[in-house]
Amino acid sequence: MNLIEVKDLTKKFPLGRWTKRTLTAVDRVSFSIPEKPPKIITLAGESGSGKTTTARLILGFIKPTSGRVLWRGRDIWKLDKKGWKQYRKEVQAVFQDPYSAFNPLFKVDRVLTIPLKKFGLASTDEEAYEMACKALEIVGLRPEEVLGKYPHQLSGGERQRIMLARAFLLKPKLIIADEPVSMIDASLRASILNIMFDFKDKWGVSFLYITHDLSTAYYISDEIIIMYRGSIMEMGPVDDVIEDPMHPYVRLLIESIPIPDPSKRWMERIILPKVELSRVVEIKGCKFYDRCPKRMPMCAERMPKLIEVERGRRVACFLYHKEAF
Amino acid sequence: MSMEKLVEVRNLKAYYKTRSGEVKAVDGVSFYIRPKEIFGIAGESGCGKSTLALAMLRLLKPPGYIAGGQVIFQGKDLLKLKAEELRSLRWKYISYIPQSSMNALNPVKRIRDQIADVIKTHEGEIPDEEIDKRIEELFTSTGLSPAVAKMYPHELSGGMRQRVIIAMSAILNPRLIVADEPTTALDVVVQRGILQLLLDIRNKIGSSIMLITHDMAVQAEVVDRLAVMYAGKIVEIGDVDHVFKEPLHPYTSALIGAIPSIREKRRLKGLKGLPPDLRRPPPGCRFHPRCPHAKEICKKVEPPLVEVGRGRVVACHLYVEEEVRA
């Protein structure tokens, strides 16, 4: 059974108090995260793609408009108190901003020991303290250097490591990490990504890594799901998708990633739309229709379904639908 | 490429006064930019790259101040010019694209009127038809619809506004455009379009561009020469190909070794430790507490920026000694 299964997940937000118009932030999204083996799955997309809303839906922060989030086959909105508590323990979250995720009045010790006691994982203060020390060591921090400090006395990289340590303490099956390294300098970013690797390899923790940065996604993940304006455009093993993208949008996206090697510069020109308005319009057909170099008349009519084209590889594009021809 | 210098920065120092001491954000920085060159300034947050741009253009506001140095542009020291002389240089000779500038457009003015203001300030009263013609030409040549000129900023997407700002920076054919993180917070496709636009401006009107970005991959894609800053100092300058192929300063190597690429999967190495507090930078080389090659001398003596081959300068004792031995 899957640890998490997302089925036709949809979230619409009203566009204003006096209008019935809505913005579909997440549009019939389906995918699953198996319990075993542990995997790092990236949910990638540009701003406005719906990746963060999807994460918030999975975490139960917001209620879907339609569709379901299943945890071990059970709808998370139908869990009893006990089930919910268990869910909150198994599925942890780490966020982008390692500054705002802390209570500024709590020392690091409390940040780490409170959840241990709340979830009954430590019976005494001493035990909780020892577990916290061990978790800090696992994320590459020296407990004597950070315990007893307030959040403002720590750097962004240290705070993000502490958030990982905190998540780790609860022995989760899955950590949902929303842009955990985007506010951290490049030289420190690598060590945070390497901690994620270690969690997976040594401790069997899976990740849903949410990012706009496909270079880090390629580096750490096993699988990737690429969203655009609320829909999944393509998903599959990360090497296949990045090295040989199929969807025209995903191709454009990947060709636009800067390569840190001056001998491999962009050779071709890209053409951006001559006007791009801030107002979002709902479209009937494929969401990439207006920008797609390979668009066909049918693409304006309906959104292509996400279909499996190879083992584990899914694409939402009529170019790959046999029945389209 | 010509060895002429369009702008030369000599021993520039820009500090911030704070209650707990002076923050030496830019501390003795020297470099030059050639005509028609794209010159990159790389470095991580807090290394002083934005302060450097502000100080060069005399836009630094208190508690920041210039503590010394020269910025020679076309034979004149910008730091000594009268305010009025300096104003006449802006847009016409030097354009500045500040960080998050896409949010800096006047929200209650049509884009056309904002560009018209710039033209009129520098060229006096010009007939509206001529202004409209110039804006249309500018927009057409930069891949924007002329219809955009009639709009208000809020009607456009963030990426579109940034493209307008960059096109606008070129309206008076400046010799130098200083762009501070022009693509940060934009999606990669838009980022690529904006970098392409900067290259087009250089190729069409021959401006030099000083591109400040922490993103080493972006630097690799567009700049001709690159300077790497660390803790208020330049640690290395060189042709971008050389810097990436054979980084000299241990900090540059670490920075390059820490960035992932979709063309290559290798284990990335993070750098240990943190940059120093610029109120109390460590003695000697500012990088020595994090440097894998640190020696005794690095803890005591600050390494000078020395030339180690054609157009290649580095501030590191590993290379000073070699010079002495040779």
Task: Please state which of the ranges A34-43, A215-224, B191-200, B267-276 shows the lowest mean pLDDT.
Answer: B267-276
Tokens 């959840």, residue? A115
The tens digit of pLDDT for each residue in A55-83 reads 999 999 999 999 999 999 999 999 999 99
Q: At what angle do helices A186-203 and A156-169 cross, to 10 degrees?
A: 10
Quote the CA–CA distance of B281 and B278 in Å, as a whole number.
5
pLDDT at A309: 93
Phi, psi of A236 (to 5 degrees): 165, -170
Q: SS3 for A16? A: coil
Residues in A closer than 8 angstroms to B147, CB to CB, are 275
* Residue whose C-alpha is closest to residue B178's, from B101, B58, B97, B104: B97
pLDDT at B179: 96
pLDDT at B100: 84
The answer to whether the CB atoms of B44 and A252 lie below 8 A apart is: no
Residues in A closer than 8 angstroms to B217, CB to CB, are 215, 257-260
Quote the CA–CA distance of A172 and A85 in Å, as a whole number.
12
Q: How confident is the model at residue A324 (pLDDT cuts 50, 70, 90)?
A: low
Mean pLDDT, range A184-208, rounded to an integer: 91
Quote the CA–CA distance of A305 and A86 in Å, as a whole number.
34
**Complex prediction ipTM:** 0.89
Q: Is A267 on the interface with B (CB under 8 A)?
A: no
Amino acid making up residue A273: P
pLDDT at A322: 67
Q: Say which of B187, B196, B258 has its CB closest to residue A186.
A: B258
Quote the CA–CA distance of B168 and A111 in Å, as a whole number.
49
**Residue B241 clears pLDDT 90, i.e. is over it:** yes
Q: Say which of B145, B260, B269 has its CB closest to residue A219.
A: B260
Domains of chain A by start residue, with CATH: 2-324 (3.40.50.300)
Quote the CA–CA distance of B67 and B27 in Å, as a whole number.
9
**Residue A100 clears pLDDT 80, i.e. is over it:** no
**Residue A220 clears pLDDT 70, i.e. is over it:** yes
pLDDT at B77: 95
Quote the CA–CA distance of A101 and A93 in Å, as a whole number.
11
Quote the CA–CA distance of A236 and A242 in Å, as a whole number.
10
Helical H segments across chain B, by residue range = 49-56, 83-89, 111-123, 128-141, 158-169, 188-205, 216-222, 240-245, 250-257, 296-300, 317-325
Mean pLDDT, range A93-109, rounded to an integer: 80
Q: Say which of B191, B263, B269 has its CB closest to residue A190.
A: B269
**Residue B198 clears pLDDT 50, i.e. is over it:** yes
Residues of chain B with pLDDT > 90, as a percent, come to 79
Q: How confident is the model at residue B326 (pLDDT cuts 50, 70, 90)?
A: very low
User: Domain ranges in chain B?
Assistant: 7-93+174-273, 105-173
What string of DSSP letters covers A157-195? HHHHHHHHHHHHHT--SEEEEESTTTTS-HHHHHHHHHH
Tell me the pLDDT of chain B averaged across its residues: 92
**Residue A189 clears pLDDT 90, i.e. is over it:** no
The answer to whether the CB atoms of B214 and A186 lie below 8 A apart is: yes
Minimal-distance CA residue of chain A relative to B139:
A274
The tens digit of pLDDT for each residue in B63-86 reads 999 999 999 998 899 999 999 999
The tens digit of pLDDT for each residue in B15-59 reads 999 888 899 999 999 999 999 999 999 998 889 999 999 999 999
pLDDT at B322: 55
Residues of chain B with pLDDT > 70, as a percent, come to 97
Residues in B closer than 8 angstroms to A240, CB to CB, are none
The answer to whether the CB atoms of B192 and A258 lie below 8 A apart is: yes
Q: Is B107 on the interface with A (CB under 8 A)?
A: no
Q: Which CATH class is domain B7-93+174-273?
A: alpha beta
pLDDT at A123: 86
Mean pLDDT, range B197-209, rounded to an integer: 95
Those residues whose C-beta lies under 8 Å from the C-beta of residue A149, and which sit 6 or more positions away, are: A107, A108
Chain A stretch 156-185, residues whose beta carbon is closer than 8 A to a beta carbon of chain B: 157, 185
CA distance B70 to chain A (A): 30
Q: How confident is the model at residue A281 (pLDDT cuts 50, 70, 90)?
A: confident
The answer to whether the CB atoms of B270 and A187 lie below 8 A apart is: yes
The tens digit of pLDDT for each residue in B141-158 reads 899 999 999 999 999 988
Give me the sign of the Cα torsion angle B33, B37, B42, B45.
Answer: positive
Q: How confident is the model at residue A194 (pLDDT cuts 50, 70, 90)?
A: very high
Q: How confident is the model at residue B1 (pLDDT cuts 50, 70, 90)?
A: very low
Q: How confident is the model at residue A186 (pLDDT cuts 50, 70, 90)?
A: confident
Q: Say which of A190, A265, A271 has its CB closest to residue B221.
A: A265
